[in-house]
Chains A and B, each alone.
Chain A
Amino acid sequence: MPVIEVNLEDFRELLGREVSIEELQDRLPMMGTSWEGVTEDGFHLEVFPNRPDLLSIEGLVRAYANWTGARTGLRRYPVEKSDYKVVVDKKTQEVRPWFVTAVVKNVEFDDPLIRSIIQMQEKLHVTHGRRRRKVAIGLHSLEPIEFPVTYTTKPPEFKFRPLGERFEKDLTWILGEMKTGKEYAWTVEGFKEYPMILDRKGMVLSMPPIINGEYTRIDELTTELFVDVTGTDLKAITEVLNVICVTLADRGAEIHEVHNHYPDGKVLTTPSLDPWVMELDNDYVNHTLGSEFTPKESARELEKMGHGTEVKGNVIKVKIPSYRADIMHPIDLVEDIAIGYDYDNFEPEIPPISSEAGEDPLEVFSRGLRNFLVGLGLLEVVTFMMSNRDKLFHRMSLPEEPICETDNPKMEAYDSLRNRLLPGLMEVLSTNKHHQYPQNLYEVDDVVVIDPSTETGARSRRRLAIALCHSSASFSEIKATMNTILENLELQAEVVEGGWDCFIEGRRFTAVLEGKPICWAGEVKPEVLERWDLEMPVAALEMDVNLLFKAHVG
């Protein structure tokens, strides 16, 4: 989630009052952010991805002033009429179909504003923009642009002068050589022609979402802007355009409309900074929160979150500001009421609901086994479920078989799910050679095996494994251990010779219950001990707890 840096002086100036860092540290989280620590001249704050409007300091102060009651209710953002025209070429519809724009005048680009705008643009690109693929923002100096502006595509050999370069470069060079080109080339991968924004003279404003042209470079003297937002999702780019426009308007800028002509003949006039309306039933509010707010009280909390309200009987007509991207259901307004009222002010209460309680029977059975094994003097270990083929097969001298493997592991040692517990016990023994023997260990936990009959093609199984490791660990000891477990479960299994290859031939067996193997045991082969770097004999077993459970309950 995005973390923004806030300058305390800027914050105070915009808020119009003194405010201490302690107050902000305590209160801002209760407004729905996460405090990330104090900096030299301010603080770091994590903003939730559903609130892009808080990514600028202007937006943050707007929300804080509302919430603390200094300025509540809906703020109007007028948009001036104009005849700025933009044409969207049909060719863009296949690659990056959406394009919305605005003209902003009377901007005063001082340091705090530049800081804020750059940070907001960067964070919007990462989160809302899904690293510019879904949404990309371009800010341009309005002055050199001759309207109408065209949004079209150009072939790779097309040339223009990208921001920061002294000469014209072709698009292939930009994507292959420039830092920003290389970083965002993935967003246009596979395109035959690349998106391009040009003015009437054919001068390039931008190659979205890669880089702007030098032509419309902004500097400290710039007072008029052309803002473009391109992307793959009209809803998302509209929200972003609105957030940018209100941020600039909060600094005193004038917003002017632009008419975006689409190839199907439709004209989108943007930005539209008018609120939209959702009706909220006050019973729904109280029913969900466990509160007893009157409609008026609910409305007051909504106003603290920047909404406009009109109460009609039990229904609140909520006017939602254009920059609030997260409201999609009345429940979102209920949350705003809860935040407005402050989570701290709701009295906790456990409801008198009676319902059936209890643990899963296999868990109860497993706990019985775990406690019983402690009585045999065994020490329980809890190992990772993730493992790899080397540990599961090669080091165990076991033949490879299909297992559940991940596609994108970050570490080779943990790229698959275990299909047996025993390799994990061997690994624990190999890392504990400096401790006193005997080391008699057990684990009762799950493995995951391939099973084409399930929804996913895999299934988890509960297993029990024991490794006895000391100077006289033997076959008879491990067999006696199995017998003791089975006896105490009132089960009898047939022991047949043979079993897992990790055990010494002639000293290994499989125990069979109702025709199914429930236990594999034996003395571990010395070559396996060598591969785990152990100089101490091990006798071990692994049991199928699902089958034990089934047989036990009958």
Chain B
Amino acid sequence: MNPREVAERLHENERKVLQALSGGGTATTEELSRLTRLARDAVEKASDWAATKGVVSFKEEVSQFFSLTDEGSVYADSGLPEQNLRKLLVHGPHEIAKLKQTFQNLNIALAWMRRNGWADIQNGVIQLTEEGKIVGDSSVEQVLRALNKPTPQSGEAFTEDEMTVLEQLVKRKLVTKQEETERSVAITDFGRQVLPELESAKSANVITQLTPEMLVNKSWREASFQRYDVTLPAPSLNPGKRHFISQVIDYIRRFWVELGFKEMKGEYLELSFWNFDALYQPQDHPARDLADTFYMKTPHSGHLPDSKMMEQVKETHENGWTTGSLGWRYSWDPEVAARNCLRTHTTSLSVNQIAKLTPDDLPAKFFSCGRVFRNETIDWNHLAEFYQTDGIVIGEGVTFRNMKGYLKAYMEGLGVEKFRFRPGYFPYTEMSMEAEVWIEERGEWMELFGAGMFRPEVVKPLIGIDVPVLAWGPGFDRLVMQSYKVNTIKELYTNDVGLLRRAKLWME
């Protein structure tokens, strides 16, 4: 690039810096700030830009400054402990035991006297060595006194010997050292070639920022635009944005609706009846255990609806009722069913929904999407609450093959390539099924979610007739983790603002 082009690309501030350097050729940023009447950081920024264009270069000078620590300033005033002790011993040996009571900082004094070879201790008595007798006021004290000033002292004021002493005092923590780097800016030879072009570039009236005034007074007509280096980096903005989990939930809702499903809603805090009993889980079933389920202290229990349906559920548990089943053969306790808990699956919504239907409403397809709760100790891979999306298809003639059909569509919708359905077990489904994905890196199948056809013992007591119901309850955290390259489930819910601002948009 020739000097003229560079001149045109210079920002107003760069131009000012360059002109300020036209006289002396070198100046500190502080001096430049004075000369250009720009703030110091504006000068630094402008100098940086100018340097990338080769019109200025930097020189850096490091200067050292020394000042006393609190301990150092005490000694500067009242003398070093070892010197004070030495002065005392000039008058003759002393017993250490006695010194202990009268002499301040005795241990420090003793340590340094011994290190300097100034004194001997024998039988608890200390006396000066020959060397100790002849040392006078040392250079150490001169240095301490020189530093005993309100502002730090430049290293330039000290001799080479004194600098050695200073370094020792820094080690002894009586003195602190600060380094300051002063940057001065120098015009380069190329910069000098650019200098004469500045006038003509300036007279051409270069616009940095187009303003409403320029548009009103039409001054832009006589001006040219400063050329930018468009490849220079610019920062990103912090967007207003949906949480990525929330974006995925929107997608899953749309997915089910497009397949013709209607949304069902329900409560988080639920009767055990809806979470367990209506799903034909016997009351002593391990899944109802305290270890997995949050039961409520307040409100402790609810009211079972006094209905035919309730009686049918009871009968089915006890003896199979008219479902054709043997039942679990135990005595069903309404109080256990009335106990409140936090739903452990959104399948509670599915049975709630079935109980609201009449045979005239069939066939029907429903989905839900919501949080469920497990009584877990939270760590990186376990959460006490997470999302699930349940689906049911209810109607005469729906089959096991249909269930595979819907779940295949769901897996493909979420971008899973290799999957299979194997037998599983849930007390409330038969056939029961586990959907598994193939994890190539590990060379094994990973369980993703359960599905099945509700047992007649679940369906008939709720709706009054035996009709097939397909049901599934996938979580999707694992798939979101994979998609967002998040390694632990907890990271999905930490709400790290940085992560939320950066996380990719769910564009499906």
Question: 1/0 contact trace for A367-406 toward B, CB 8 Å?
Answer: 1001101111111111111100000000000000011111
A402 to B296, CA, bound (A): 13
Contacting pair B497 A334 (CB below 8 A): no
* B434 CB within 8 Å of chain A: yes
* B447 CB within 8 Å of chain A: yes
Residues of B within 8 A of A411 (CB): 377-378, 384
A370 to B247, CA, bound (A): 10
Contacting pair B298 A405 (CB below 8 A): yes
Question: 1/0 contact trace for B395-425 toward A, CB 8 Å?
Answer: 1011111101111110000000000111111
- Min CB gap B266→A, angstroms: 9
Contacting pair B260 A357 (CB below 8 A): yes
Which stretch, B9-17, B81-89, B100-108, B321-329, touches the partner chain A? B321-329
* B112 CB within 8 Å of chain A: no
Residues of A within 8 A of B332 (CB): none
Q: Whose C-beta in chain B lies nearest to the C-beta of A438?
A: B238
* B40 CB within 8 Å of chain A: no
- Min CB gap B350→A, angstroms: 15
Contacting pair B365 A456 (CB below 8 A): no
- Min CB gap A535→B, angstroms: 16
Question: 1/0 contact trace for B268-279 toward A, CB 8 Å?
Answer: 111100000000
A290 to B447, CA, bound (A): 25
The listed residue with most B CB atoms (<10 A of its CB), out of A1, A335, A374, A435, is A335
Contacting pair B445 A404 (CB below 8 A): no
A454 to B302, CA, bound (A): 8
Which listed residue, A329, A354, A355, A409, touches B457 by the CB 8 Å rule? A329
Which listed residue, A356, A359, A379, A456, touches B267 by the CB 8 Å rule? A456
Which listed residue, B373, B408, B455, touches A386 by the CB 8 Å rule? B373
* A34 CB within 8 Å of chain B: yes
Interface of B is mostly: mixed
- Min CB gap B253→A, angstroms: 6
* B472 CB within 8 Å of chain A: no
Contacting pair A448 B395 (CB below 8 A): no
- Min CB gap B365→A, angstroms: 5
- Min CB gap B436→A, angstroms: 8
Question: 1/0 contact trace for B364-399 toward A, CB 8 Å?
Answer: 110000010101111000001100000001010111
- Min CB gap A130→B, angstroms: 6
Q: Whose C-beta in chain A lies nearest to the C-beta of B468?
A: A288
Contacting pair A440 B240 (CB below 8 A): yes
Which listed residue, A353, A357, A370, A386, touches B246 by the CB 8 Å rule? A370
Residues of A within 8 A of B182 (CB): none
Contacting pair A354 B260 (CB below 8 A): yes
Residues of A within 8 A of B399 (CB): 287-291, 349, 351
* B242 CB within 8 Å of chain A: yes
A405 to B340, CA, bound (A): 11
Which listed residue, B253, B371, B398, touches A351 by the CB 8 Å rule? B398
Residues of A within 8 A of B284 (CB): 130, 134
* A147 CB within 8 Å of chain B: no
Contacting pair B250 A367 (CB below 8 A): yes
Which listed residue, B327, B378, B401, B457, touches A290 by the CB 8 Å rule? B401
Contacting pair A374 B400 (CB below 8 A): no
Contacting pair B496 A432 (CB below 8 A): yes
* B24 CB within 8 Å of chain A: no
Contacting pair B425 A50 (CB below 8 A): yes
Q: Which of B439-479 contact A (CB under 8 A)?
A: 444-445, 447, 453, 455-457, 468
* A450 CB within 8 Å of chain B: yes
* B119 CB within 8 Å of chain A: no
A382 to B244, CA, bound (A): 9
Q: Whose C-beta in chain B lies nearest to the C-beta of A433?
A: B497
Known contacts A130-B284, A351-B402; is-contact A383 B431 (Cβ 8 Å): no
Question: 1/0 contact trace for B283-294 toward A, CB 8 Å?
Answer: 010100010001
Known contacts A351-B402, A408-B290; is-contact A428 B497 (Cβ 8 Å): yes
* A506 CB within 8 Å of chain B: no
Which listed residue, A334, A343, A378, A382, touches B422 by the CB 8 Å rule? A343
Which listed residue, A235, A331, A379, A458, touches B500 by the CB 8 Å rule? A379
- Min CB gap A33→B, angstroms: 8
A456 to B494, CA, bound (A): 31
Q: How large is the interface on A (under 10, 10 to 19, 20 to 34, 35 or more residues)?
A: 35 or more
* B220 CB within 8 Å of chain A: no
* A29 CB within 8 Å of chain B: yes
Interface of A is mostly: loop
Residues of A within 8 A of B371 (CB): 385
Q: Whose C-beta in chain B lies nearest to the C-beta of A26?
A: B445
Contacting pair B263 A381 (CB below 8 A): no
Known contacts A331-B430, A338-B400, A350-B405; is-contact A410 B296 (Cβ 8 Å): no
The listed residue with most A CB atoms (<10 A of its CB), out of B269, B325, B375, is B269
* B320 CB within 8 Å of chain A: yes
Residues of B within 8 A of A351 (CB): 393, 397-399, 402, 405
A408 to B399, CA, bound (A): 40
Known contacts A331-B430, A380-B246; is-contact A457 B340 (Cβ 8 Å): yes
Known contacts A34-B434, A370-B246; is-contact A329 B455 (Cβ 8 Å): yes
Q: Whose C-beta in chain B lies nearest to the C-beta of A450?
A: B299
Q: Which of A320-371 contact B (CB under 8 A)?
A: 328-332, 334-335, 338-339, 343-344, 346-351, 353-360, 362-363, 367, 370-371
Contacting pair A358 B262 (CB below 8 A): yes
Q: Whose C-beta in chain A lies nearest to the C-beta of B299?
A: A457
Q: Whose C-beta in chain B lies nearest to the C-beta of A339?
A: B423
* B225 CB within 8 Å of chain A: no
* A510 CB within 8 Å of chain B: no
* A417 CB within 8 Å of chain B: yes
* B498 CB within 8 Å of chain A: yes
A335 to B137, CA, bound (A): 102
Contacting pair A410 B385 (CB below 8 A): no
Residues of A within 8 A of B447 (CB): 34
Q: Which of A429-462 contact B (CB under 8 A)?
A: 431-432, 435-436, 438-441, 446, 448, 450, 452, 454-460
Residues of A within 8 A of B393 (CB): 351, 353
* B433 CB within 8 Å of chain A: yes
A406 to B243, CA, bound (A): 28
* B172 CB within 8 Å of chain A: no
- Min CB gap B461→A, angstroms: 13
Known contacts A331-B430, A405-B297, A448-B268; is-contact A344 B420 (Cβ 8 Å): yes
* B127 CB within 8 Å of chain A: no
The listed residue with most A CB atoms (<10 A of its CB), out of B300, B342, B406, B495, is B495
Contacting pair A376 B240 (CB below 8 A): yes
- Min CB gap A51→B, angstroms: 8
A362 to B250, CA, bound (A): 13
Contacting pair B295 A406 (CB below 8 A): yes
Contacting pair A404 B363 (CB below 8 A): no
Contacting pair A289 B294 (CB below 8 A): no
A417 to B500, CA, bound (A): 25
* A549 CB within 8 Å of chain B: no
Residues of B within 8 A of A406 (CB): 294-297, 342, 375
Known contacts A31-B423, A50-B425; is-contact A386 B434 (Cβ 8 Å): no
Chain A residues packing against B (C-beta within 8 Å): 1, 25, 29-32, 34-35, 48-51, 127, 130, 134, 233, 235, 287-291, 328-332, 334-335, 338-339, 343-344, 346-351, 353-360, 362-363, 367, 370-371, 373-386, 402-411, 414, 417, 428, 431-432, 435-436, 438-441, 446, 448, 450, 452, 454-460
CB<8 Å pairs between A and B, sample of 5: A29-B422, A349-B401, A353-B393, A373-B240, A384-B493
Chain B residues packing against A (C-beta within 8 Å): 238-243, 245-246, 250, 253, 257, 259-265, 267-271, 284, 286, 290, 294-303, 305, 320, 323-327, 329-330, 340, 342, 363-365, 371, 373, 375-378, 384-385, 393, 395, 397-402, 404-409, 420-425, 427, 430-434, 436, 444-445, 447, 453, 455-457, 468, 493-498, 500-501
Given contacts A329-B326, A431-B496, 6 further A-B contacts (CB under 8 A): A29-B423, A233-B329, A334-B430, A376-B240, A382-B243, A456-B271
- Give 7 closest A-B pairs by Cβ, nearest first: A290-B399, A457-B299, A48-B425, A290-B401, A32-B423, A348-B404, A456-B302
